[in-house]
Structure 1
């Protein structure tokens, strides 16, 4: 029995009555608006072979119950809100052919038990919060064709035994923290067509044996710490410079960067070509001069009739033969790079020397500039105000902040610390502005564009980002709509967190700092009195932001005697709930006015 309702627009929870379909073999509820946790009744369907639940809003920890479905061959939970760790008992699914858990909030390490899934051909875990190293047991999956572990937080080296996955055609390990060398054994993967190792910390040289993979048609080794000359055969086969870009020590074609050994060979040839004729000419001239000088001296002795007289060499000759050589060191101050990817000089050019016209925002942590680089990349660069924090402490705190990564937080991509007291932070660019601007634009729209679903997702994104900060633990200290930024998909990202330690030298200075804590209207009364931000105060600020999302009213619009919290309480006591919400939010969503969805 097959149940295929993909893309029909259903919402709500999956009913537990689905467990009565005991002969069900295929369950496809993908691309819906389903939410909540999975009913346990699904795990009692003995004939279930295919489960497709991707692109929903399902939540809860990754269910362990799927391990009881011994006939399961296909499991796809991509693009949901599942949390927790991947259950180790998934290793009992020996019939499983495809496991797709990408784009969730899954954490922890990849269980080594997955190496027992002997039938597995597809393993996709991209865009989660997985950490630790790639387990060597993955190499036991001899039928594996596609391995996608990109955009996680994996560390360690690429397993040398990965070549035992002899059927592998796609290996995607990009955007992690992998280190070490690229294994020579990758060349044994004769079926490999796609290899992406970009945005890691891989070092050493590129193995020349990669050019011997016959089926390789897509390669990306950019944004690493690779060095040396690009193998000539590989460079001619993949002649796009972006394949090898952002490796500072890499040289050769197709990069426009000549290798040192090539320059030395050219220099030696030039010396031989020019130096040998010049040396021969000089030697011949010296011989001629010596012969003439000897002849003249002999004639002079004959003429004077004097023998054995000592003659003094002219002083000018000795002084002319004495030459001094100038010595000096070629160089200058060493330039500190942004994660070895972007130079300070390039950033100065991209911001036009930090020109006022390029300012994106202003705050108590300095100005944020828009940096437009020559390759088309756009990044926001925060220039911190001059402070007393030392260069060493700044590097330590910036590298610590670089480890704070979450789907709903702005991610630190690089930093710069150099004299005189220049302190920069580089983030991902958020093209769709902030929540304050979005709410203001929405309040002036005739047909309300910021509808219920959008506001709900924005509030969820803020809550998840704040909860992750508190789990570290970190305190935000200034949660407000201006500090909620949106990426190209309008997903919320919290900004302006963890910057106190980058602007004050010691904890004592931080506690006694005269810098105001929080923002007017969003700060809790306790913090206003003590000046000390807390997790509880963050939750209070989140509540104020939530009220602003619902009511469309800014906290500063109220008088000193009546704030937004008191106003909301008064409306609730009067039973005037509709007066609380921003006009237009009580109207039906245009996509659901017909009372049904089309399949």
Structure 2
């Protein structure tokens, strides 16, 4: 019997593991052969029942050991199926007996089986190896967020998986119908991918599903109903897709829901009444849709509600008082609708922390906040018709950080006790009718970093106490009636980046202390009464003329118009002289002589005569221009673009077009429609059209792009659908599309006006002295990266990224424009390579040259990489020499290989930066311009890398190569 036991206990011989791809299959085959043959051992019938019972646990142990080895081999197959440039999977070796110590792998302590695989932001790319995942039959949790995995989702998942997180990848294709049969799923997160098609039927019936996040994809079609009352669903996020139709009427049947977000889609109709039964719902988001009708009063029955976002819809009527029934409300956003009536009492009556009612048609006075409003941190009532004074009691809101009352009709003086608001960071009261002075107590608001009071009727002087607000980054007191000098204490605000004192009555000289403001990007004092020399500093030596214009006394040694130049010796015109009536004034001429002398310098006489001629010429030309423009406005262009044109369009079409504006803003142009075609208003020309500047009736400037590719534009319905999608994009670093105008031969796109010019101009057309420091360039790079990441999360590919499409606002912040325009055209490959945008060739990814091009976000990543190198080197992407063409990417790559990166850096940056940081950013730019699209990171990863550099934690250089 001992011999029998020995033969049974001896584990069958297995081949040693070898490092080739066929080994997992061979080992699996060996195990199958062994486990299928040993129960038929001829000795087995001769064993006693006792011996058999003793061997059964041993057999189970051997089977478990084989299962553990199966996990090892499955993970090795997984590793071989993906690209791992960062080497995160390097320790995964087929020679190991267990995988439990491998990075990202967790095992069940009892069985030793792999039950969790977590590799967030590991830089993995390629397709998910379906067969390897299915072999991990004990896997409970799979988390691979923030990688660059592509291709379709597997049509089958590990049989026991409970939590699946594949968010922030590049997965595409439809959601597999098999998802609706994964009964073990508890949590599913597929957000931030490129998934398209409909939401599969039956997915709400998964018995264990508690959390479902499909946000940030390209899902379309209507959302199926069928929410069972037995649903375990707690969290449902369908936001940032292209879903349409009405929100499912029975969504409220999922009675355990705590969070529901369907925002930024194309939903119509109203809020389904079944929601009123969700007594446990704490967060409801439906902003950025086309929901309409009145806000239902039953919202107040949702007693657990803490966050409510219905912004950017078409709700009308008064805001119901019933919302006050939501005693737990913390955040409310009803902005950008068409709501009317007065400010609801519960805004200050509940313990709210953040409230935005901006961009509606609310009116009346703002009542004084009471004690219940002490928790308020953000209050945005801008873009309404509120009148009356700012309630003095608002200064008692000690936790208030953001206050925006701009674009109303409020009057009276600013609250005197504003200095007591120690937490206040942003105060915007611009574009009102405020009077009185800037209170000196403003110096007590030491946390302020943005103070905007422009376009009011403020009087008095700028208080010196403002110099105590040392956190200020932006200060706007423009278009008021301020007098007196600019206080020298402004020089204490060393963080200042934007200052606008234009269109006041300020006098005196610019204080020399302003030269200490090394972060300045905008300092606009135009249209004042200032005089004297400009301060001596890098910024003021190269300040644009538009920032100092209409100040007759301002001058600068650096600009060759010094105030202290030597005046020519005056000439005396003496008609009573017996000799030459023109003679030089002698130092000895007494001041009491009896003959009246007229003393004029020759240069002054010439200036007076020349000035008079210029004035006459300007007046004449102006009159002629007005006559011509008036005639043109009646014959060719409507005098104002309104909701429906009453006259013919610029192309004299029989059917006039319609101007559609998104959100708040009057569609009328104060300058008249002729401004659209007036060369004086032209800002620039590009591959898609010409851009003009115009002004809305409320005084807001806008940029209008007149598309010059009418023959290529899609049908009206497709055009409108695509433009409305682009109009939903809202991001700090993206130029906002405000509206559009359509006829078959004329298409206009209306954008926010961005005043600071474009990045290409600043890098290549300004003076030899750089306008950008190292930190400014870094800020531009990370701003553009964030913009692209945001666009990609919304399924929008830029297609035409280049430095001339990166605009700079008044604070020097980058704003990416011209995004998604190629989607308006039916034939991408024919147009992209046309002569109209040859200027973009230096930024175009190599795959654009293929006739069967599959344009993806990776094309934008390539263009971004070129812009990174352009910003750091100060050189154009392509330089055309007499007998050669120099490509910037190739030059920088060669310099990196040869260890002389410093030779490539913009010489205007000398001594201002860490070379170690510069090398990291250059390597990132080169990775982004890889010839193989799959080797380029996605923009989410790029942002993460840049933020790591900014946080000074650093990223190992080898990780970026």
The answer as to whether partners of 1:121 and 1:143 remain within 8 angstroms in 2 is: yes
Residue by residue, what CA displacement relative to the aligned partner does 1:520-569 show, whole Å, maximum 9, x if unpaired? xxxxxxxxxxxxxxxxxx63x434125659x97999xxxxxxxx99x979
* Partner residue of 2:680 out of 352, 356, 360: 356
Partner of 1:405: 724
Residue 187 of structure 1: SS of its match in structure 2?
helix
1:3 aligns with 2:142: yes
Structure 1 position 45 matched with structure 2 position 176: no
Which residue among 28, 41, 54 is the counterpart of 2:165?
A: 28
Measured after TM superposition, the shift of residue 197 of structure 1 is: 0.7
Alignment counterpart, residue 205 of structure 1, candidates 337, 342, 346: 342
Matches of 2:935 and 2:696, distance apart in 1:
39
Give yes or no for the alignment of 1:542 onto 2:828: yes
Corresponding residue SS for 1:10: strand
Residue 404 of structure 1 and its aligned partner are, at CA, apart by: 6.1
CA contact (8 A) 1:360 1:368 kept: yes
CA distance in 2, matches of 1:431, 1:130: 35
1:165 and 2:302 equivalent? yes
Q: Take 1:166 and 1:4, find their aligned partners in 2: how far apart are those partners?
A: 35
Task: Report deviation, 1:201.
Answer: 0.3
Residue aligned with 1:84, SS: strand
d(CA) in 1 for partners of 2:686 and 2:169?
A: 41
Q: TM-score, normalised by structure 2?
A: 0.35
Return 5+ residue gaps in structure 1 as ranges: 261-333, 385-396, 417-422, 438-448, 466-479, 498-537, 556-563, 570-581
The residue aligned with 2:382 is 245
Matches within 5 A, 1:88-487: 88-91=225-228, 94-213=231-350, 215-233=351-369, 237=373, 243-253=380-390, 255=405, 257-258=409-410, 341=665, 356=680, 359-361=683-685, 368-369=692-693, 379-381=702-704, 405-407=724-726, 413=738, 426-428=750-752, 461=796
Q: 1:430-460: per-residue Cα shift (whole Å, max 9, x none)?
A: 89999x99xxxxxxxxxxx99xx99x979x8
Compare 100-109 and 226-235 and name the one that shifted more: 226-235
2:167 aligns to what SS in structure 1? coil
Are 2:819 and 1:492 equivalent residues in the alignment? yes
Partners of 2:666 and 2:696 within 8 A in 1: no
The answer on whether the counterparts of 2:352 and 2:373 sit within 8 Å (CA) in structure 1 is: no
Residues 560-588 of structure 1: per-residue CA shift (max 9 Å, x gap): xxxx99x979xxxxxxxxxxxx9987546
Q: 1:14 aligns with which of 130, 144, 153?
A: 153
Contact 1:408 1:462 in 2 (8 A): no
Q: Which has the higher contact order (CA 8 A, sep 6+)?
A: 1
Q: 1:188 to 1:70 in 2, by over 3 A?
A: same
Instruction: After TM superposition, give the deviation of residue 102 of structure 1 in Å.
Output: 1.0
On the 8 A contact 1:174/1:200 being kept in 2, the answer is yes
- Give the TM-score, by structure 1 length: 0.54
Determine the C-alpha separation between the residues in 2 that align with 1:335 and 1:253. Answer: 34
Q: Residues 91, 585 of structure 1: CA spacing in aligned structure 2 closer, same or farther, 3 A cutoff?
A: same
Q: Distance in 1 between the 2:248 and 2:324 partners?
A: 26
Q: Deviations over 1:186-213 (max 9, x none)?
A: 1111100001111110011122233221
| Conserved? CA contact 2:669–2:696, under 8 Å | no
Q: Deviations over 1:277-315 (max 9, x none)?
A: xxxxxxxxxxxxxxxxxxxxxxxxxxxxxxxxxxxxxxx
1:358 touches 1:370 (CA, 8 Å); kept in 2? no
Cα distance in 2 between the residues matched to 1:554 and 1:97: 48
The CA deviation at 1:220 is: 0.7
Kept in 1: contact 2:669–2:697 (CA 8 A)? no
Which deviates the most, 166-175 or 91-100? 91-100
| Corresponding residue number in structure 2 for 1:510 | none
User: Distance between the aligned counterparts of 1:486 and 1:55, measured in 2?
Assistant: 24
User: Does the Cα contact within 8 Å between 2:822 and 2:828 map onto a contact in 1?
Assistant: no
Judged with a 3 Å threshold, the aligned counterparts in structure 2 of structure 1 residues 568 and 211 are, in CA distance, closer, same or farther, namely closer
Q: Is the 8 A contact 1:430 1:486 kept in 2?
A: no
Q: Shift of the alpha carbon at 1:158? A: 1.0
Query: In 2, Cα distance between the equivalents of 1:140 and 1:432?
Result: 51
Given that 1:69 and 1:93 are in contact with CA atoms closer than 8 Å, whether structure 2 keeps it comes out as no
Assess, with a 3 A threshold, how the Cα gap between structure 1 residues 495 and 178 changes in structure 2: closer, same or farther: farther
Preserved contact between residue 98 and residue 121 of structure 1 (Cα < 8 Å): yes
Q: Which residue of structure 2 lines up, in the alignment, with residue 329 of structure 1?
A: none
Partner residue in 2 for 1:531 = none
Per-residue CA shift, 1:304-334, capped at 9, x if unaligned?
A: xxxxxxxxxxxxxxxxxxxxxxxxxxxxxx9
In the alignment, the residues of structure 1 paired with residue 358 and residue 313 of structure 2 have an alpha-carbon distance, to the nearest angstrom, of: 13
Conserved? CA contact 1:102–1:126, under 8 Å: yes
Supply the distance in 1 between the matched residues of 2:818 and 2:682 (Cα, whole angstroms).
24
Using the TM superposition, give the Cα deviation of residue 492 of structure 1 relative to its aligned residue in structure 2, in angstroms: 3.1
Q: 1:56 to 1:415 in 2, by over 3 A?
A: closer
Any idea what the Cα deviations from partners look like across 1:492-545, whole Å, max 9, x if unmatched? Answer: 333898xxxxxxxxxxxxxxxxxxxxxxxxxxxxxxxxxxxxxxxx63x43412
From the superposition, tell whether residues 198 and 3 of structure 1 become closer, same or farther in structure 2 (CA, over 3 Å).
Answer: same
Q: Secondary structure at the match of 1:232?
A: coil
Aligned mates of 1:364, 1:186 — CA distance in 2: 47
Secondary structure in structure 2 of the residue aligned to 1:233: coil
Write the distance in 1 (CA, Å) between the matches of 2:840 and 2:355: 50
1:198–1:221 contact (8 Å) kept in structure 2? yes
Q: Which residue of 2 aligns with 1:83?
A: 220
> How big is the shift at 1:41?
2.8
Q: Check the 8 A contact 2:829/2:851 in 1, yes or no.
A: no
Q: 1:233 to 1:131 in 2, by over 3 A?
A: same
Change (3 A) 1:373 1:402: farther
Q: Which whole-Å CA distance do the structure 1 matches of 2:154 and 2:722 have between them?
A: 40
CA distance in 2, matches of 1:45, 1:81: 23
Does the 8 A contact of 2:300 with 2:326 survive in 1?
A: yes
Structure 2 segments unaligned to the other structure (5+ residues): 1-139, 392-404, 413-639, 644-660, 708-715, 730-735, 742-746, 762-783, 808-814, 842-847, 853-888, 891-928, 938-958
1:591 positional shift: 4.2
